[in-house]
Amino acid sequence: MAPAVPVPGTGSGPGPNPDPVPDPLRDPWRDAMRLALDEADAAGPAGDVPVGAVVLGPDGEVLARAHNEREATGDPTAHAEVLALRRAAAATGEWRLTGCTLVVTLEPCVMCAGALVQSRVERVVFGAPDEKAGAAGSLWDLVRDRRLNHRPEVVHGVLGEECARQLTAFFRDR
């Protein structure tokens, strides 16, 4: 009798994510997205929407982490993405974050999309789409607008279900 072979998509693989089908586009960003999910958890105590962001340097090193702090600080611009980009710029001493990647649990809004375009990040990776305010493909596609001089690569859906569950739980419990 031959050993059982996991069948892709049947949940027969090992570990907490039983689907063994590799995704070469999204798999490289899973660990960073888990860091962003952990960061998003820190937003809850202040009543902020649980969005977390991580900026990775060109070598994959974590340059900055942040979560939403609008309620905590009373600052309407204190979105996770903007705070992470500011902290990454401070860490590098450069406003141009060339070669860097912004990883965020929720698709960036127009403000955050503008900030990441202006910071010249190489790519934005997000988990859950935002059909009400997303500006990286859902409602608008500001980051890939051909009229702009910088258009980062967009990778969507990394741990998307986990990211969406975190947000859904927050709003359900309110």
* Catalytic residue flag (residue 81): yes
Pairing verdict, β 101-106 and 123-128? parallel
3-state SS class at 92: helix
d(CA 104, CA 158): 9
Beta bridge partners of 154: 124
Q: Which two tokens stand for residue 26?
A: 């999204």
Q: Which two tokens stand for residue 81?
A: 């993405």
pLDDT at 7: 34
d(CA 72, CA 74): 6
pLDDT, tens digit, 9 for 90 and up, residues 99-153: 999 999 999 999 999 999 999 999 999 999 999 999 999 999 999 999 999 999 9
pTM: 0.88
d(CA 54, CA 37): 9
Candidates 39, 69, 81, 107; catalytic one: 81
Burial of 5 (0-12, 13-18, 19+ CB in 10 A): exposed
φ, ψ for residue 52, nearest 5 deg = -125, 150
Residue 15 has pLDDT above 60, yes or no: no
